[in-house]
Amino acid sequence: MQERWIAVACSVASFVGLVTHGAPKIADNSVAVSQDEATRVVKVSYSLVDAPAVVTVNVLTNGVPVCPSAMWHVSGAVNRLVKGSGPHDILWSPDDAFPEIGKVDISAELTVWAPDAPPPYMAVDLSLTNSTLRPSRFYYADEASVPGTATNRLYKSTVLLMRLIPAAEVRWRMGGPKGEVGMNDATRETIHYVTLSSDYYIGVYPVTQLQYAIVGGERNSTCKGPGFPDADLQPVDYCSYNELRGSSVSWPADLHKVASGSGVDLFRKHTGIASFDLPTDAQWEYACRAGTATSLNSGCNITDANVDAALDEVAWYRDNSGLVAHEVGLKKPNNWGLYDMHGNVLEWVLDWYSTGSADYCVEGSDVRDPKGDDAPENKWRIQRGGGWNLNARANRSAWRGYTTPGNHWEKTQGGFGFRLVCDATAE
């Protein structure tokens, strides 16, 4: 249940609004807002009951929220997991355009989130390793609150931006309906129903080449050197499934265990996020669709299997890519703010590809947290999303590609990349 109430605060502030999600809350009469006359720094002080909790803030002047673009310079016990009862301080350094003290009433709205129900956006600073004393995970209440907004190149380079997907206990339709233009054979896209038991975070973008290099991944890109000035911000495009998880472990038999030194393991050790992994086939499609049932997550259906104008706004594919990968995030996102779910590069998911015995191959089946086949007749892993060298039919939400887990890249398809998922828990 969400609670909202008003508390009178001292000094410059006329009021402070408090919002609580879940059990943790702000202690009664603990909030104070002030501004230093010399430095103009605004300080919000508070204490917590039933810590830990994630705390986010909106600063208001004369009751009007400050534009998120002016909130870059916020520090202290905010936008992160706060572990003690306090008192805690939030500091905001306004820019020169902010009115002088005394000319406005300054107030603040604090939002408190339980660790198991965190805010929709999480930013993981890859420039801060797990051994760094400063926090490396920051949380934001909505896309507008993300510093610089989600399209800032910061989130394609040194920061991994992730979006919480509201999946818990939602029953939805996976696969493509018979007769959908460009549909593969029925064994690849059989209509069935899926329920996922938990929310999860997923990367707003595919992992970029620079992000992979920062954590120690080997950058064997097919797009580097002269003629590719933005290769740092392009998706990883030359990695195998075995490179990402290891050939000595196997999903689903070994569940989320990965080999030491594998790509996923590098991200886990660098960030301290032990739940990092590739998405399952079902997690990927649910995130891609974002509530849509059409062949594209824009709400459109393609009308031609090879070239279709509806793809231009959401995907780099064979007809518009110039047969190369592109910087992530340049096309229109889906309803959950995820970019490049269609096109650019193929993305590995956890599941084995199967044409018969897997739960998602049974028409009309109703499954919970599917893990795919554990004994496939073909030793192929699934790839989703299409790519820069594939035609329209292969860039649909339901399309499921496959190749051997040791394969790094196929010129006929385009690069092989990935995006990460992790548990929806604040740490």
What mean pLDDT comes out for the span 313-336? Answer: 95
Is 62 found in the same domain as 161? no
Q: Which of the listed residues 113, 131, 151 is the one where a domain comes to its end? A: 113
Residue 123: closest CA among 151, 89, 159: 159
Q: Give the CATH number for residue 350.
A: 3.90.1580.10
Q: Are residues 149 and 54 in the same domain?
A: no
CA distance 338 to 153: 15
Residue 421 DSSP SS3: strand
Predicted pLDDT at 272? 93
238 and 209 in a single domain? The answer is yes
pLDDT at residue 21, as a whole number? 61
- As for how many domains the chain has, the answer is 2
170 with 250, same domain: the answer is yes
Ordered DSSP codes for 82-131: E-S---EEEEE---TTSPPTTSS-EEEEEEEE-TTS--SEEEEETTS-TT
Q: How far is it, in rounded angstroms, from Cα 399 to Cα 368?
A: 21
Q: Which pLDDT belongs to residue 239?
A: 93
Q: Are residues 25 and 51 in the same domain?
A: yes
Same domain, 300 and 376: yes
Do 45 and 147 fall within a single domain? no
Sheet of 137-140, strands arranged across: 137-140, 121-125, 159-165, 200-203, 421-423
Q: Are residues 416 and 275 in the same domain?
A: yes
- Shared domain for 105 and 127, answered yes or no, is no
| End position of a domain, from candidates 66, 85, 113 | 113
| pLDDT for position 13 | 37
Supply the mean pLDDT for the chain.
Answer: 87
pLDDT tens, 329-380? 999 999 999 999 999 999 999 999 876 655 666 777 899 999 988 877 778 9
Residues 138 and 106 in one domain: no
Q: What is the pLDDT of residues 150-187, one digit of tens each?
A: 999 999 999 999 999 999 999 999 999 888 999 876 56
Do 335 and 228 fall into the same domain?
A: yes
Task: Choose between 156 and 226: higher pLDDT.
Answer: 156
Per-residue model confidence as pLDDT tens digits over 65-105: 888 878 878 999 999 999 999 999 999 988 777 766 667 78
CB 411 within 8 A of CB 389: yes
- Residue 39: give the domain boundaries: 2-113
Picking from 60, 88, 113, the residue at the C-terminal end of a domain is: 113
Same domain, yes or no, for 401 and 359? yes
Residue with the larger pLDDT of the pair 227 and 5:
227
pLDDT at residue 133 greater than cutoff 80: no
